[in-house]
Structure 1
Amino acid sequence: MRKITFVFIIVLGYIANAQTGIIKGLVVDKQSESPLPGATIELLNVEQAIGVITDIDGYFTLENVPLGRQMIRVSYIGFESITIPNIVVTSGKDAAVNIALIEAFDRLDEVIITSETSKAQAINKLTSVSARQFGVEEVTRFSGGRSDVGRLAANFAGVSSPDDSRNDIVIRGNSPVGLLWRVEGVPIPSPNHYSTLGTTGGPVSALNPNLLKNSDFITSAFPAEYGNAIGGVFDLGFRKGNVDDYEYTGQVGIFTGVEAMAEGPLGKNKGSFLVAGRYSLVSLLGIGAGGTSATPNYYDVSFNVDFGKSKLGNFSLFGIIGFSDIEFLGDDIDEDDLFAAEDENSKADSGFGVIGLKHQINIGSSSFLRTTVAGSFATNEFKADRFIEKKHSARTYYKIY
């Protein structure tokens, strides 16, 4: 009888621990990106107050957090406090957040300066700040977004998409070609499967939202660093992996495909690795999708390896590689197929990739130097065999490359 009671207590304790989760992350100065040790993190809207402070490297771990959507407040002396809502806490995976605090300044007596009105300047001062920040949760929660940052942006003010078959972005009537994609500060080709050279969109996104950190979408008044932008800017960044524990994630989606992700600590200098791979689900099932009976095949791999801080600075290696192909056979298509014809056999192949090495070192207490070396590639090939007289036994055809 004592053994049964002991086992029951253990099982009951295990169930109780499974009802809580962990929130962890990094707190830095937004201007210098240096860690802020001693910052206070509080869990709000709970009966019993829970709080921790960051360690010497700016990291924190908030344990025994109730499951569900939670809110935290981060404060630090000399900086403006920030409240972060809608943090999804689960028992199977730690919730990771990266927080950048802005230095607070005392308000002084106002000084009024008057001058003649310049017609070259807009009356509405908000026209110079047409920017929107979005996070991974916003991308995955968006209804009908297919976990695609491009389709999410199509719901912002002044932004639209030509049709539902592609994620091209039209900003205030500008051509989608004017959109600039950047990853970790590096301009990249269109990060989409089945993309065509010279375009910035595609049917299926090759960007994995589970690797993205909070990123910017800018529609006008671009800073000088976005010199090649005409229509808009997607400035994306990769988050760091879990620096304390190893985590493995798997999920399945119609458009995102079958996905596996691993992350965990690397080395002794608070380094981490984060890698994820996806493969087309419809390809594994052998079915068509998106208005065609042809089977699309696509896969991509994304990674971010942070080697931690050392005397030489912080090095990190990041990249995305994706390939896709689809074959339309005239004898196998349906009559209402949107992309193929009965008298034509065609095949489309495309590829995209970017790999970069980033280095950052602090210079003094209020500045840093960041250097990024990266390379990218994009390939696209389309072949078509057109049958001039399909009904005759002897077929003639021509090829288009």
Structure 2
Amino acid sequence: MTGGLTSPEAEKERGLDLMNQSSFSTSNCLSSAEEKQTETSGLRPSSQRCFNRLNLCFQVNESFKQNSHIWDLGEIERGIPAGWSAVSGACNFAEELRHVTSRYHGSYLRALNACLELRKRSFLFLLLCGVAYLHLKESDRRDLIIVCFCQLLNFVFDLEHPSAAELSEMYERNNCNVAQGLAWSYYVGYLKFILPGLKDRIREFNQSNSHLLNCEKTWKLHILIPLSCDVCDDLQTVDSHIHFIKNLPELNMDVAGIKKRSYKNSIYGILGENKEKHFCVMEYATPLRSLFAMSQDESAAFSYQDRLEQAKLFCRALEEILQRSKYCSGCYRLIVYDDSEENDKHFLSKTILRHMEQELQEEYTMDEKYEGSIHNAESNGTQLLISGSDHPMSLHSFGY
């Protein structure tokens, strides 16, 4: 007998106190879980908040039955998203191992940090793992199974998928649309005009220049794409084995209110190791200048790593656009190379000649027309040749 209450009444009073404390704890757990989820993903999807509430309510009900403490479940609930994020990051890391050389310059630590964001989450992840381990030693494993099951349902039904507004904000904040925009602008504002009639202008040039470009297999626009985005105005300053010869006949078109706008393309001679000169139409991909300028401007918030990733995405996007184009088939060749750590002063001329030799060795005319999915199409399309690494691929890792 305590405070005038019988034993059953005392038990009832303690049950009400437990319920009030649990409700208060549930609110705190819910708030903490949502804050932790926001810190982890940077998003606040309403579906995630609903699932958090359902998970916690179900756990509170079980805790009443077992007369356990809600704080155990709250700690587990906060630890599960971090644990699931770690598993997903490990799967992404397994995928990125294929591209360590091309994307991370051979650094496995940089690849791991890109998948798990160790700098931001390492302390939080270790803390939550420690708390979860201490509580699981003394708690019922069924609670953990329930929480994991709810988290799996969340993943399977993609309830954490951000809304269109949130995606737009992410892309704008991280400059994710830069490469695609530059690639499309380069195509619709330039390549789509000059590539269809390029071979006719080369024929016209040959008639008055003793058939200087005598090999028809190299009658293409060779587009130089350095991943450093360092575009020079004079190619001879980059490599003394490259010399300007002449310009092709001008292409004049009425564009955007400009009457007879002039487009020019230049012919260069490349000196080989045997002192023999090879000739081709060649130029840099001019949009790379924009990427380089953005990385030099503090207001753009565009780092070196951002520039490298966007340069690779630009290559990928431009290749896909040109493969789909029915106007540009067989009229271009993308020469992608990494010159950031290259000490050979004739590296560029050797890279260009290697591409030209590959063109001469091809037995069939390359079909660069897009048919269905580019990953499944059977064609002899132009391949990106990157010196010392594999081809640039999409930076997106699929979910696991």
For normalisation by structure 2, the TM-score amounts to: 0.22
TM-score, normalisation: structure 1: 0.22
> If you compute each CA radius of gyration, which structure gives the higher value, 1 or 2?
2
Instruction: Pick the structure with more strand per residue.
Output: 1
Q: Kindly indicate whether structure 1 or structure 2 has the higher relative contact order, using CA contacts under 8 Å at least 6 residues apart.
A: 2
